[in-house]
């Protein structure tokens, strides 16, 4: 066969094959109704797979935060067919006008992209809805999870979830409108680890909302990655007891393991049930809590700034001993003409001064620290030099700056130095006589309870500490966080701490001590009381402590607002928590009952308007 003949054969073959394909397409698209109906009844749908957020555990592996399944009811406007909106509104439990408005908003947003019509429907309720969805093309359920708090404790520590705002969506491309994000506490600080990473599935669905299979065998799908679990140092039993003891009181408790810096419990009171800020009642309940006059949303343990009161005498003692302006055997008369004080014997040693909490003693100590004749020509320059060295040493105790803890929204207190007083009074216009109230932890000195608990850990460790932290491991129980293993050493020789510890022991265990109500049988508690002046009412009680003296395992700070001296309420609260933590029991039931029954808030109530009760799951 010649070339010309072969060419015609090839052309004929191509034409024949093309005709067969055209005929087949014509048959499928025009003649055969089965294929036409199938194509019309199939639609591609993008489904977002939201990963489960990581769980949060206490130090014994008990759940603090878990998840519960819910569903969002989604709508794709272009797939919606005419339907009875009144019946549908009744089915999903939404007012008819609200449903119509949400559908209108969804169409304005996009005809092709899904929009949320109703959020966070509990699984039990959605199961009753889902069996009817085949009557409503274009509507489908999308699963996700909500937080649940099995112990219903530690609300400020844990935080909560809230819908992202427009600014966050614009800042971070990960978030889309309708997503949730951690707010406050561990939920916010560890948001990236807890949230995981969402996935996407593309599926084909028919007109009855039945999934018929994956789109193109799932080549465009991405897997969701679950969030990582958090393993904390929190002792659930201690947290529960602390919240019980602080009920009907304003204040906070912070307890640390001094050897590791792990937070054992963190109590803010008044508090609230964390389940109140879960699900569809969150916005209503948040408004109620926000308007309450006693501020249950305010995290006193991290944000309340108080004068440390007599607790600060421990720091003054260490600075004075290390700078050599006093010795352990230095004594001062209790001269009330210098500064007011309660009745007690004169302190002949630093240990007795701490035991009696003598104000004139520490007036004289601070005078020697500030005005040391470093500049003999000017008393004012001399005071600035002395206070500058004092400020440097005090800041080495972690005071005057925000604690490096794994929680957001902290305050740092205030340690006034020469620059501060130059701004306040003018350079060369202040000296010790201007600032002497700092000697007893009043005046311009401010601290937060977390700093005071860390201060107690420093006394327990004789001069060093690790940054306080709530989470010991992320992802795996033994994946300890290295960033919290850097040891900080204060600007004071360790040898002086023996004298401070002995003074703190006497505060609790010897006659004349100001915290005798903190004694525990067979456990040597070392502590120090304080009274934080309150210009708006009765003073606040403060107590810091550690135990046992021989091998400290717990360090703590307790603040009870508007309750007077620290030995009355703060000291016994701390001692009960120590007793439970160290011995797993409480023998002094009469003290326990007194504290549980005491209402220091009096006529104030936690809620002026009762929030909606959370659904138990």
Residue 180 is inside which H or E element, if any? Answer: strand 180-183
Q: Print the domain residue range for 178.
A: 45-70+145-232
Q: Are 277 and 188 in a shared domain?
A: no
Q: Are 319 and 397 in a shared domain?
A: yes
Q: Are 322 and 228 in a shared domain?
A: no
Indicate whether 418 belongs to any domain: yes
Please state the domain count of the chain. Answer: 2
* CATH label of the domain that carries residue 421: 3.40.710.10
Q: Under DSSP, is residue 179 helix (H, G, I), strand (E, B) or coil?
A: coil
Q: Are 307 and 203 in a shared domain?
A: no
Q: Which residue has the higher pLDDT, 46 or 25?
A: 46
Can you say whether residue 40 is alpha, beta or left, with left for phi > 0 and alpha for psi between -120 and 50 degrees? alpha
- Residues 131-172 have pLDDT tens digits of 999 899 989 888 888 899 999 999 999 999 998 988 988 899
- Residues 204-217 have pLDDT tens digits of 766 555 666 666 66
Indicate whether 574 belongs to any domain: yes
Indicate whether 3 belongs to any domain: no
Least confident of 428-432, 480-484, 487-491: 480-484
Indicate whether 119 belongs to any domain: no
- Residues 53-67 have pLDDT tens digits of 999 999 999 999 999
Q: Are 217 and 261 in a shared domain?
A: no
Q: Quick one: pLDDT at residue 335?
A: 93
Q: Are 446 and 536 in a shared domain?
A: yes
Q: pLDDT band at residue 40, thresholds of 50, 70 and 90?
A: very low
Domain final position from 189, 207, 232: 232
Indicate whether 549 belongs to any domain: yes
The count of other CB atoms within 10 Å of the CB of residue 608 is 11
Q: Give me 574's structure tokens.
A: 């701390």
Range with the largest mean pLDDT of 106-110, 559-563, 575-579: 575-579
Indicate whether 478 belongs to any domain: yes
The count of other CB atoms within 10 Å of the CB of residue 440 is 31
Q: Are 254 and 182 in a shared domain?
A: no
pTM over 0.85: no
- Residues 112-138 have pLDDT tens digits of 888 889 988 888 889 899 999 989 998
Q: Are 184 and 249 in a shared domain?
A: no
Q: Which residue has the higher pLDDT, 301 or 10?
A: 301
Q: Are 221 and 348 in a shared domain?
A: no
Q: pLDDT band at residue 374, thresholds of 50, 70 and 90?
A: confident
Indicate whether 208 belongs to any domain: yes
Q: Give me 64's structure tokens.
A: 């603090």
Q: pLDDT band at residue 368, thresholds of 50, 70 and 90?
A: very high
**Distance, CA of 253 to CA of 559 (rounded, Å):** 7
Q: Are 262 and 399 in a shared domain?
A: yes
Domain final position from 210, 232, 254: 232
Indicate whether 1 belongs to any domain: no
Q: Are 206 and 248 in a shared domain?
A: no
Tell me which residue of 177, 222, 220, 179 sits closest to 44, measured CA to CA: 220
């Amino acid at each position: 066969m010649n070339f010309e003949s072969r060419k015609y054969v090839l052309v004929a073959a191509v034409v024949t094959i093309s005709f067969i394909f055209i005929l087949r397409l014509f048959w499928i698209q025009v003649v055969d109704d089965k294929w036409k109906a199938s194509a019309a009844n199939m639609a591609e749908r993008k489904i977002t797979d939201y990963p489960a957020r990581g769980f949060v555990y206490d130090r014994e592996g008990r759940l603090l935060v878990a998840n519960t399944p819910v569903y969002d009811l989604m709508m794709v406007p272009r797939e919606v067919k005419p339907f009875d909106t009144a019946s549908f509104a009744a089915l999903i439990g939404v007012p008819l006008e609200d449903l119509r408005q949400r559908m209108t908003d969804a169409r304005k947003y996009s005809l092709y992209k899904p929009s949320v019509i109703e959020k966070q429907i509990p699984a039990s309720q959605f199961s009753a809805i889902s069996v009817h969805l085949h009557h409503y093309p274009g509507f489908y359920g999308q699963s996700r999870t909500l937080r649940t708090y099995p112990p219903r404790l530690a609300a400020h520590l844990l935080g909560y979830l809230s819908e992202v705002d427009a600014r966050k969506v614009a800042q971070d491309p990960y978030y889309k409108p309708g997503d949730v994000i951690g707010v406050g506490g561990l939920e916010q600080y560890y948001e990236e680890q807890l949230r995981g990473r969402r996935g996407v599935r593309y599926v084909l669905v028919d007109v009855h909302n039945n999934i018929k299979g994956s789109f193109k065998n799932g080549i465009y799908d991405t897997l969701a990655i679950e969030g990582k679990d958090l393993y904390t140092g929190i002792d659930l039993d201690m947290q529960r007891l602390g919240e019980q003891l602080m009920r009907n009181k304003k204040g906070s408790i912070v307890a640390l393991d001094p050897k590791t810096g792990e937070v054992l419990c963190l109590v803010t009171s008044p508090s609230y049930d964390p389940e109140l800020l879960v699900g569809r009642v969150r916005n209503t309940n948040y408004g109620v809590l926000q308007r309450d006059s006693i501020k249950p949303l305010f995290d006193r343990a991290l944000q309340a700034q108080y004068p440390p009161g007599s607790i600060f005498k421990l720091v003054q003692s260490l600075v004075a001993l290390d700078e050599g302006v006093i010795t352990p055997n230095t004594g001062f008369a209790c001269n009330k003409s210098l500064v007011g004080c309660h009745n007690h014997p004169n302190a002949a040693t630093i240990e007795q001064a701490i035991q009696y909490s003598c104000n004139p003693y520490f007036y004289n100590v601070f005078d020697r620290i500030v005005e040391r004749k470093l500049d003999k020509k000017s008393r004012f320059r001399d005071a600035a030099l002395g206070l500058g060295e004092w400020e440097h040493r005090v800041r080495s105790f972690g005071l005057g700056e925000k604690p490096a803890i794994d929680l957001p929204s902290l305050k740092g207190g205030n340690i006034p130095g020469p620059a501060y007083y130059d701004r306040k009074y003018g350079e060369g216009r202040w000296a010790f006589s201007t600032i002497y109230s700092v000697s007893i932890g009043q005046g311009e000195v401010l601290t937060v309870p977390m700093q005071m608990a860390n201060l107690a850990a420093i006394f327990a460790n004789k001069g060093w500490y690790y940054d306080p932290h709530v989470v010991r491991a992320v992802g795996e129980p033994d994946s300890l966080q290295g960033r919290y293993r850097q040891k900080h050493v204060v600007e004071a020789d360790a040898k002086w701490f023996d004298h401070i510890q002995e003074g703190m022991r006497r505060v609790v265990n010897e006659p004349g001590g100001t915290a005798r109500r903190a004694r525990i049988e067979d456990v040597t508690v070392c502590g120090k009381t304080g009274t934080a002046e309150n210009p708006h009412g009765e003073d606040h009680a403060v107590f810091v402590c550690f135990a046992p003296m021989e091998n400290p395992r717990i360090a703590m700070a307790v603040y009870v607002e508007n309750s007077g001296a620290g030995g009355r309420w703060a000291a016994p609260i701390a001692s009960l928590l120590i007793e439970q933590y160290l011995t797993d029991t409480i023998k002094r039931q009469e003290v326990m009952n007194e504290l549980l029954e005491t209402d220091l808030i009096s006529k104030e109530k936690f809620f002026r308007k009762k929030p909606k009760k959370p659904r138990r799951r």
